[in-house]
A and B are shown apart, each in its own frame.
Chain A
Amino acid sequence: MIRIVTLSEFPPDVIDFVTRRLHAAYGMGCELEGEGEIPADALDDEQSAYDAVKVVDEMDDDVTLYADDKIVYLTNEPLTAPPGPMGRGPVDGYAQYGGGKALVTAHGLPDKGLPLEVGLAKRAAHYVGHLWDLHHCFDPRCAMHPGWSPGFATYPEVALCLFDREKSERKIKLGSS
């Protein structure tokens, strides 16, 4: 089951669209679990964006996760991540690889030229994929394609490529067993 927790206000039809798309992409149940608050101390040093890793690690919620449960936090706030060898780049979410929690932001979606619900659903599908150990995909149609590449807006459908779909199905079967 994929459980969604909103950390900002979203119209109900947007959440409805996101849950439907996630259900369709992974063949798992998906429901809105409730609302939460983003930890205030997760702001980065410049106080301009939230550190995505800190937000997920410090999130205090009482959602119970079972074997194959995944939890996705949705927010509108800008996010950042610890600098890596390439410095800082665009960050639209964070996921614990092979873990249970992911964070997705709708920040910056209007610039992509996609409707809010489509962009958010595509990002959510991307980060849920990371929770199932999926890596980035070179196919621009696939939801696992990096969000900053031109393929994100060119192909608005929220779908996985054949390889990633099969891999996620295998992982989901193992998880549920």
Chain B
Amino acid sequence: MATKTHEPVIGDGSLHIGDRVVYPNQGICRITGVETKQIAGQNWEVVTLSREEDGATVMVPKGKVMGIGLRKVADVAAIERVFDELAIPNTDPQLDWKVRHRENADRMSGGGLFGTVEVLKGLHALSRVRPLPQKERELYDNARHLLVGEIAAAMNIPLHVAEDNLDYALWPPPGMTRKGRPLPPATLGPPSPTRPAAEDEDLGLEDEELGGTEEAVAPAANVTVVEEEQPAPPAAHKAAADKEKSKSPHRPPKPALAKKARPAAAKKAAPAKKAAARKSAPAAKKAIPKKPAGKAKAKGKR
């Protein structure tokens, strides 16, 4: 009599070995099995997953599978609803950074498909008003990466086609429609200020913390207006590009208006520099008499 092999129950029983699942913040994984691992002297039953993107192995304790938000890849109907949602323009981004940060963190850790869509859509809408700070730029890229991966997996299309379709909804090209309804064509957004990498390491939220949200928006809008008013004529493009050759071509040219983009930060930086100069001056004076003292000590030791 043949013995019937029992497939282990994973989560609430809806997941099986070989299923493609979405791991929150990690992307598409495939369940490869259930193993018993000895960790800190205890035997743990873990579900092993293989991340499709790079083949990395993820191990999740069996009892926590549902708690961490592991779920099956969305079906085609859900993806269609995602595109319905994306095609509705969001003109009201959350401007309060504290609320935005909390909401986005909750949505991403939840791992839901529509949570990721809302994060992407909200940050996309905000990017139309002003450039995103570094941390939110990373979150935007992460949300986009997860969504593109899931759309491609659900629809069985290449990643590139999935991302293009995502942006046909977010940045509709002229003539694009969704279920027969024409979508408003994309308009030009504000360009990001080109700043050295060192300045970008903070959250870029100081302006908002000080209640300078509206002030922070204004310079970005100014940059856009100036750029839109004075577009380089096509004939001048080649000359401009040739001129670039002589300059460092790797780094985009610093715009003349870059300084205007962060007035609050610039104002803060100026007194801070003065204060630092004042502090360093006496320190330098003090440092001079220390030298002979050091020498004397050294002599004494000898």
Query: Considering the chains assembled together, what is the distance between the CA atoms of A139 and B124 in angstroms?
Result: 11
Q: Is the pair A135, B80 in contact by a Cβ cutoff of 8 Å?
A: no
Contact call B197/A162, Cβ cutoff below 8 A: yes
Look across to chain B and name the residue whose beta carbon is closest to the beta carbon of A136. B167
Q: A118's contact among B141, B162, B241, by CB below 8 Å, is which?
A: B241
Chain B CB within 10 A, most for which of A53, A115, A150: A150
Contacts of A90 in B (CB 8 A): 173
Taking a contact as CB atoms under 8 Å apart, the answer to whether A141 and B192 are in contact is yes
State which of B82, B189, B234 has its C-beta within 8 Å of the C-beta of A151: B189
Interface contact A115-B237, CB-CB below 8 Å:
yes
Give CA–CA (A153, B187) in the complex, Å. Answer: 12
On whether the beta carbons of A139 and B191 are closer than 8 Å, the reply is yes
Interface bits B191-223 vs A (CB < 8 Å: 1, else 0): 110110100100000000000000000000000
Contacts of B200 in A (CB 8 A): 162
Is A107 among interface residues, defined by CB-CB distance under 8 A? no
B266 at the interface (CB under 8 A from A): no
Q: Closest CB of chain B to A136's CB: distance in Å?
A: 5
Contacts of A156 in B (CB 8 A): 232, 237, 240-241
Bound Cα distance from A12 to B259, whole angstroms: 40
On chain A, the number of residues with a Cβ less than 8 Å from chain B's Cβ atoms is: 53
- The A-contacting residues of B in range 249-294, CB under 8 angstroms, are 249-253
Q: A97 touching B189 by the CB < 8 A rule?
A: no
- The answer to the question of B63 belonging to the interface, with a C-beta cut-off of 8 Å to chain A, is no
A163 to B204, CA, bound (A): 14
Q: For the complex formed, measure the closest distance between the CB of A132 and the CB atoms of chain B, giving whole angstroms.
A: 13
Neighbouring B residues of A81 by C-beta, 8 Å? 160-161, 164
B237 near A85 (CB under 8 angstroms)? no
Q: Which residues of A contact B238 (CB under 8 A)?
A: 115, 117-118
Q: Any chain B CB within 8 A of the CB of A10?
A: no
Most chain A beta-carbon contacts within 10 A, residue among B138, B151, B240, B252: B252
Residues of A within 8 A of B80 (CB): 85
B128 to chain A: closest residue by CB: A138
Q: A118-B237, A162-B194 are in contact. Are A97 and B83 (CB under 8 A)?
A: no
Asked if B35 is at the interface (CB within 8 A of a chain A CB), the reply is: no
User: What separation, in Å, do the CA atoms of A124 and B160 have in the docked complex?
Assistant: 15
Q: Does B62 contact A (CB under 8 A)?
A: no
Q: Does A149 contact B (CB under 8 A)?
A: yes
A85–B165 contact, CB under 8 A? yes
B160 pairs with A130, CB closer than 8 A: yes
Kindly identify, within residues 119 to 173 of chain B, every residue whose CB is under 8 Å from any CB belonging to chain A: 124, 127-128, 131-132, 134, 137-138, 140-141, 144-145, 148, 151, 155, 157-165, 167-169, 171, 173
Nearest B residue to A90 via CB reads B173
Does the CB pair B171–A84 fall under 8 Å? no
Decide: A157 and B79 in contact? CB cutoff 8 A.
no
A117-148 Cβ-contact flags toward B at 8 Å (1 or 0): 11000000000001000011011111000101
